[in-house]
Amino acid sequence: MLTAISNGITYIINMGASVMLPIVIAIISICLGIKVGKAIRSGLMIGVGFVGLSLIVNMMNDNLGPAAQAMSERFGLSLKVVDIGWPGASPMTWASSIATVAIPVAVGVNLIMLFLKLTKTVNIDIWNIWHMTFTGAIAYTVTGNFWIGILGVVIHAAISYKLGDLWAPLMEDYFELDGLTVPHGTSAYMAPIACVFDALIDKIPGLNKIDISADTLQEKIGVFGEPVVIGGILGTVVGFLAGYGPSEALPLGVKMAAVMVLMPKIVKCIMDGLMPLSERAKELLTKKYGDTAKFYIGLDPAILLGDSQVVTAGLIFIPLTLAIAMIVPGNQILPFGDLATISFFIAIAVAVHKGNLFRTLFSGSAIMFMTIWIANQSIPWLTALSKATGTTDGTSLVAALDQGGCPITYIFTEIFSRDNIPGMFVIAGIYVFCMFFAIRCSKKRAAEVEARQNAEAEENA
């Protein structure tokens, strides 16, 4: 009997993620009291997302890959690995064998930390648990040890919630989001770097007086800030730089515009499938911890992206990230999939600088530099993950700035793989150093918020 069950499970696992996860999600959804028909639909939507992603990533690699390589050869660059971005990395993570266990583990770590009063962040953002899962999935793929993978999820989750606490005063101070925070694998993880730059620029006479903010750039740029146009231009330009004639460069541009437009539509299928699950989890968590006076509700950084300084910085960093990619020593990655959403990397940095774009330019550049460098180290890991999940056949290398460039994922996996120990110590050293400044920055801003509230209370009295 038991062997029959385990044979059955192995049989399903062997059919790959596009079959396994839909079944698992449908079963979990039914267990949570969702109607059978709806649960099956949810499961199938996830499968659709996986199938669609595989199509699009392969098309991107087949077309943009050779062009990037030809361009690199002509100009002596090394940008031959295409960045698939978070729209490529997140479905691979959900497709990994660790994913279904990772959701309860990440929520469980949150509940335990809340119970032990180690955090005030209540994360109701189930989608972005993929960031935590990514650390686990990569570590599992590299080491082959399931428990190291789970440990990766636990560590990434615990740090995320602590970062949620850390950034809560800035959410209130700059974004006016009282009682909310963003315990996110990219925004929250990269912002400590900005705290160092903020403290540094504060000390430099002259520079510390410069304050630039720009609300109008978005209107001036117009459609040039839209993913479809970014994809089209980038594809065409890379085509021409690769030495293609117009008959090859222009189709490449149209194809890359298609990737930019279709990618989120495909990834949305996975979100659709996870909806019943994430809505139910949200309901249960807010019922118990919905009091924003005592807790910070952890949400997706999407809530920060409406801020005009964040939008403007995101636009400036499209060309800037490409420029940085040229100067990072030994960089092999052509930034692409994350270009339209660079704001995810720098949203909290903008709040650290109180919307001062001048400072965001410096810290954002440092953030992207570090991200690109780390993402280079994780190319073999991500390629292995994409092969293990059946997204690609593993012949062409893939990279992802988001989350392949995450310091914690890198440090954690490197502890076990040990193929670049000096690199690990340098990144770990920099990151710990930045954390000290982050804690100082958080305390300072919390004090400012409190002082302002006291002053207001006195005025009203």
Partner 1 sequence: MKKKVIVCCGGAVATSTIAANKVVEICKKNNIDVEICQCRISEIGSNLSGASLIVPTSRVKRDYGVPLITGMPFISGIGADKTEAAILKVLKG
Among 272, 354, 379, 428, binds partner 1 (CB under 8 A): 272
Q: How far is the CB of 274 from partner 1 (least distance, A)?
A: 9
Q: Which of 88, 165, 96 minimizes the C-alpha distance to 135?
A: 96
Q: Which of 48, 77, 305, 446 binds partner 1 (CB under 8 A)?
A: 305
Which segment (19-27, 141-149, 339-347, 362-370) binds partner 1 by CB under 8 A? 339-347
Contacts of 157 (CB under 8 A, 6+ apart): 105, 106, 109, 110, 129, 132
How would you label 277-308 residue by residue, b for 16+ Cβ within 10 Å and e otherwise? bbebbbeebeeebeeeeebbbbbbbbbbeebb
* Smallest distance from partner 1 to CB 298, Å: 10
Does position 280 interact with partner 1 (CB under 8 A)? The reply is no
Amino acid identity at 250: L
Q: Which residue, 92, 71, 90, 96, is CA-closest to 81? A: 71
For residue 443, state whether it binds partner 1 (rule: CB under 8 A). Answer: no
For partner 1, the closer of residues 307 and 414 by Cβ is 307
Cβ-in-10-Å burial (0-12, 13-18, 19+) of 429 comes to exposed
With CB under 8 A as the contact rule, the residue among 34, 67, 86, 138 that binds partner 1 is 86
Nearer to partner 1, 127 or 146 (CB): 127
Contact call for residue 411 and partner 1 (CB under 8 A)? no
Please state whether beta strands 180-181 and 296-298 pair in parallel, antiparallel, or not at all (unpaired).
parallel
Q: 16, 66, 251, 290: which one contacts partner 1 (CB under 8 A)?
A: 290
Q: Which 3 state secondary structure label does DSSP give 83?
A: strand
Nearer to partner 1, 248 or 279 (CB): 279
Report, in Å, the least distance between residue 21 CB and partner 1.
Answer: 17
Nearer to partner 1, 50 or 140 (CB): 50
For residue 442, CA distances in Å to 122, 162, 331 come to 18, 12, 33
79 — alpha (psi -120 to 50), left (phi > 0) or beta? beta
Which runs of consecutive H residues, i.e. helices, occur in 290-395? 308-327, 343-352, 357-377, 379-388
Q: Could you tell me how many residues of this chain bind partner 1 (CB under 8 A)? A: 49
Q: Is position 299 an interface residue for partner 1 (rule: CB under 8 A)?
A: yes
Which of 292, 322, 417, 440 binds partner 1 (CB under 8 A)? It is: 292
Name which of residues 106 to 145 contact partner 1 (CB under 8 A).
Answer: 124-125, 127-128
- Residues 207-246, mask of contacts with partner 1 (x by CB under 8 A): --------x--xx--xx-xxxx------------------
Please select the residue that binds partner 1; options are 339, 340, 382, 408, rule is CB under 8 A. Answer: 340
Classified as helix, coil or strand, 122 is strand
Binding window for partner 1 (CB under 8 A); candidates: 15-23, 205-213, 269-277, 328-336: 269-277
Q: Which of residues 149-208 bind partner 1 (CB under 8 A)?
A: 175-176, 179-180
Q: What are the φ/ψ torsions at residue 341 (nearest 5 degrees)?
A: -130, 40
> How long, in residues, is the chain?
461
Is 315 exposed, middle or buried, given 0-12, 13-18 or 19+ CB atoms closer than 10 A? buried
Nearer to partner 1, 211 or 215 (CB): 215
Q: How far is the CB of 314 from partner 1 (least distance, A)?
A: 8
For position 308 contacting partner 1 by CB under 8 A, the verdict is yes
Question: What DSSP string runs through 251-305?
Answer: HHHHHHHHHHHHHHHHHHHHHHHHHHHHHHHHHHHHHHH--TTT-EEE--GGGGT
Binding site residues, partner 1, CB under 8 A: 86-87, 124-125, 127-128, 175-176, 179-180, 215, 218-219, 222-223, 225-228, 264-265, 267-268, 271-272, 275, 278-279, 282-283, 286, 290, 292, 297, 299-308, 311, 340-341, 343-344
